[in-house]
Amino acid sequence: MMSGNARRGRGQSQRRPPQRIEEEWIPKTELGKKVVRGDITSIDQIFDSGQVILEPEIVNKLLPEIEDEVLDIKRNVRVTDSGNKITWRVSAVVGDKDGHVGFGKGKYKEVPVAINKAIRQAKLNLVRLRRGCGSWECVCGSNHSIPIQISGKQGSSRVTLLPAPKGTGLVAGENAKAVLRLAGIQDVWVRASGKTRTTINFAAAVVDALSNTMKIKVTSKRLEKVGVKE
User: Could you read off the pLDDT of 48-107 as tens digits, one per residue?
Assistant: 999 999 999 999 999 999 999 999 999 999 888 878 889 999 999 999 999 999 999 999
**What is the reported pLDDT for 220?**
52
**What is the reported pLDDT for 167?**
92
Q: Is the pLDDT of residue 224 over 70?
A: no
Sequential DSSP letters for 75-98: EEEEEETTEEEEEEEEEEEEE-SS
Interval 180-189 mean pLDDT:
96
Q: How far is CA 70 from CA 34, 142, 211, in A?
A: 31, 29, 20
Q: What is the pTM of this model?
A: 0.82
**What is the reported pLDDT for 16?**
53
Cβ neighbour number for residue 218 with a 10 Å cutoff: 12
Cα 88 from chain centre: 21
Q: What percent of the chain has pLDDT over 90?
A: 68
Residue 173: Cβ-neighbour burial (10 angstroms; 0-12, 13-18, 19+): middle
Q: Which residue has the higher pLDDT, 148 or 229?
A: 148
Q: Which residue has the higher pLDDT, 176 or 10?
A: 176
Helices of type H across 54-186:
56-62, 111-124, 174-183
**What is the reported pLDDT for 164?**
94
Domains of the chain, first to last: 14-127 (3.30.160.20), 150-225 (3.30.230.10)
| pLDDT per residue as tens digits for the range 104-133 | 999 999 999 999 999 999 999 999 999 999
Q: Is the pLDDT of residue 41 over 90?
A: yes
Q: What percent of the chain has pLDDT over 70?
A: 84
Q: Is the pLDDT of residue 1 over 70?
A: no
Cβ neighbour number for residue 55 with a 10 Å cutoff: 18
